[in-house]
Amino acid sequence: RMAMPVSGSVAKDATPVNGICNRADTSAIARNFGSMHGLLVAVCKRLTARTIERSQSHRVASSPEVGLQLLTDPDLALRNRVIAWMIAEGMDPGVEKASYQATLGAMAAEFQSRVPVSDRTAMLWMQIAALITEALAVFDEVHFLEPADRLDAMQMMLTLRDRLPEVEREINWVGGQ
pLDDT digits (tens, 9 = 90+) for 20-59: 667 767 777 777 787 878 888 888 888 888 887 777 666 5
pLDDT digits (tens, 9 = 90+) for 146-175: 888 888 888 888 889 889 999 999 987 766
Radius of gyration of the chain (CA): 18
Q: How far apart are CA 28 and CA 2, in angstroms?
A: 9
Query: In 11-139, where do the E strands start and end?
Result: none
Q: How far apart are CA 74 and CA 77, in angstroms?
A: 5
CA dihedral 64, 69, 71, 73 (to 10 degrees): 180
Query: Cβ(112)–Cβ(164) under 8 Å?
Result: no
Residue 60 confidence (pLDDT): 55
pLDDT digits (tens, 9 = 90+) for 72-112: 788 888 888 888 888 888 888 887 777 778 878 888 887 88
Spell 61-84 as b/e; 16+ CB within 10 A means b: beebebbbebbbbbbbbbbbbbbe
Residue 18 confidence (pLDDT): 63
